[in-house]
Amino acid sequence: MAEVPQSVGEVTEENKQKAEDIKEQANSHFKKQNYAQAIELYTEAINLNPAVAAYYGNRSFAYLKTECFGYALSDATKALELDKTYIKAYYRRASANMALGKFKLALKDFGSVVKVRPTDKDAKAKYTECNKIVKRLAFERAIAVDDNALSVAVQINLDQMSIEEEYSGPKFEDGTLTLQFIKELMECYKKQGKLHRRYAYQILLDVVKLFKEQSSLVDITILDDSKFTVCGDIHGQFYDLMNIFDMNGLPSEENPYIHILAGNHESSTMNQMYGFEGEVKAKYTSQMANLFTEVFNYLPLAHLINDKVLIMHGGLFSEDGVTLDDIRKVDRNRQPPDSGIMCELLWSDPQPHPGCSPSKRGVGTQFGPDVTKSFLQKNGLQYIIRSHEVKNEGYELAHDGLCITVFSAPNYCDTMGNKGAFITLKGGDLKPKFTSYSAVPHPNVKPMAYANSLLSLLA
């Protein structure tokens, strides 16, 4: 947790020097992308000398790298309290606010930098880009009407999308998606090929229809002797997903995987900032990017296996007494809110100590072992599975094994060095079995290659 001293007393010269030495060690770990170790060392430096803005600014940067946007925001603010001329802190705070979709607050910080450095081209470019986002969002709100009237799915006419003779990629058989098509599609993507837009649109239309028919909480039944696989975050790491299938077999009725559910990165803001929207627009059209938003809005929020194991992306709730029926009743066809059941299912994280705490991410909550135990008892559950956090071995058991994290993207964003993992279990005892694996080679494409240019702040 971000530790911010309440007051700064007299600091000895010895402690000042120790703090500087530790800060240099922290910087070394940061450069090696050992962000957790860097955070610990920056914290030590802060405890020795709480009056140095750069310590908070550096720790804020490390928190940004680990997606702890709430802590990053707090540290950047503290740095500016200590030194209002510390330009990097404005950038750090702007970055955290952008990640949380608070573009007006980010714009204010960019404006502060421009005021101090009116000839700084980089600062002016970031201010201009952020201002464009704020204006675009305001325009979209102004023209927004009833959601049903804006449905992209009903506007698409597949018959007008002809298949060119020179197209040699995967094709449907008699207008139907088959296993052979999927196998050909995987091989196509391994070679960095591109699916014809007609087939891409048809798949999306079929998927949105499927998701619309599902509840916010989907019930799954596994027979006693049947195996079931649960994966966590993939984060678009396609070649690592292919590796999972190589190790564990392709999904099928005989070898089922967890159904797709919503995560915190499926919001419009995340798609705009981290590059998914940009990639879809570059490879297809703006209309398809809007259709993806429609698909994501209908993604279920949680899955329930055999009435005993609940699976969600983030975690549990700040309010006591939430039931499975409460989750079923959530109207999810919208952008994720900043609070409530839907928000916390997408954003929350477990913590080792009892109770709930403000989230390190700036949204959602952190919930303790007592919260997990109470929720399970109230709803007759054995344990929960969630993802949302990088883990060194790809998984972690918390809260006496009642809260399991599984993260399936190894060496996340080519920087974290973590393993990925997946879970297999059988319907009879629902005992989780963990398989860890390392990242596999992939083409030389930079992570988040299509991300908004403002995210260069995080580079």
Q: Judge whether 399 counts as a catalytic residue.
A: no
Asked whether residue 455 carries a pLDDT value surpassing 80, the answer given is: no
What are the angstrom distances between the C-alpha of 131 and each of 99, 117, 128? 15, 17, 5
Average pLDDT over residues 290-311: 97
% the chain with pLDDT above 90: 83
CA distance 24 to 13: 17
The structure tokens listed for 39 are: 């955070």
Asked whether residue 142 carries a pLDDT value surpassing 60, the answer given is: yes
Question: In this predicted model, which residue has the larger pLDDT, 377 or 453?
Answer: 377
What are the angstrom distances between the C-alpha of 79 and each of 57, 61, 106? 6, 12, 16
Average pLDDT over residues 169-178: 91
8 Å CB contact between 257 and 251: yes
Phi and psi, residue 63, nearest 5°: -65, -35
All structural domains of the chain = 13-143 (1.25.40.10), 215-263+299-458 (3.60.21.10)
Catalytic residue among 265, 303, 313, 399: 265
Phi and psi, residue 426, nearest 5°: -110, 150
pLDDT tier, 7 (very low <50, low <70, confident <90, very high otherwise)? low
Average pLDDT over residues 179-187: 96
In this structure, the number of other CB atoms found within 10 A of the CB of residue 151 comes to 14
Average pLDDT over residues 122-143: 86
Question: In this predicted model, which residue has the larger pLDDT, 413 or 216?
Answer: 216
In this structure, the number of other CB atoms found within 10 A of the CB of residue 266 comes to 21
Helix 87-99 crosses helix 103-116 at what angle (to 10 degrees)? 160
453 backbone φψ class: left, alpha, beta (φ>0; ψ -120 to 50): alpha
8 Å CB contact between 85 and 116: yes
Mean pLDDT (the chain) is 93
pTM value? 0.91
Q: For residue 459, what pLDDT is reported? A: 44
In this structure, the number of other CB atoms found within 10 A of the CB of residue 135 comes to 12
Q: For residue 286, what pLDDT is reported? A: 94
Average pLDDT over residues 283-312: 97
Which residue matches tokens 């170790």? 37
